[in-house]
Structure 1
């Protein structure tokens, strides 16, 4: 195998010295001590205010979710109670008994069917 020798081409003139930017963003700026303190205080206050607002939003979000869970749990308990009632009714019907409240339920359902069909 043959290898070619590589040469490095320099773009800047070595007699110019190292290449530096004059207007960099880093480092301290002379004569800005008191203005920086005021800016820093304002920045800290804005940060504190933002943190307070964030905590308030978080609290509201958790309260909303807790209310939502509570409502859903109530609905689940109501549905379980209704399911238990219907299960007991079916057992009583299998035994040949007329369950208490069945007649009112059937009348109510009949009224609802009449309203829907009209």
Structure 2
């Protein structure tokens, strides 16, 4: 008898689990709250896209400014290199280049300190 009672009590539990354990959307059960949620979701998505585009624009502006600053530094270094090339050519010819004396004095002052 005990075995029969166990079998009988187990069967109703199995049927309850099957009915209550279904997952997923139920067909034909669209509520107005789901439509409102969908509108809110779309608005959040639009807002997120706007923010993403704004971040992207700021990132590109920052990178463009960085490139501009680096280009200015490169031009300044090239000008300095060209000046040193001219000085070396004049020194090889036996002449004292213009501005060279000021550079030597500046370096001499730094060495004395």
Q: With structure 2 as the length reference, what TM-score do the two structures score? A: 0.77
Could you tell me how far apart the structure 1 residues matched to 2:52 and 2:25 are? 33
Structural RMSD (CA): 2.4
Report how far residue 82 of structure 1 moved: 0.1
Q: 1:78: which partner in 2?
A: 76
Question: Which has a greater percent of helix?
Answer: 2
Deviation digits for residues 58-93 of structure 1 (CA, Å, limit 9, x no counterpart)? 111111111111111100000000000000000000
Q: Give the 3-state SS of the residue equivalent to 2:96 in structure 1.
A: coil
Q: 1:34: which partner in 2?
A: 32
Pairs aligned (count): 100
Which segments of 5 or more consecutive residues in structure 2 lack a partner in the other structure? 1-17
Q: 1:13: which partner in 2?
A: none
Deviation digits for residues 17-67 of structure 1 (CA, Å, limit 9, x no counterpart)? xxx675333233655421011000000010011111111111111111111
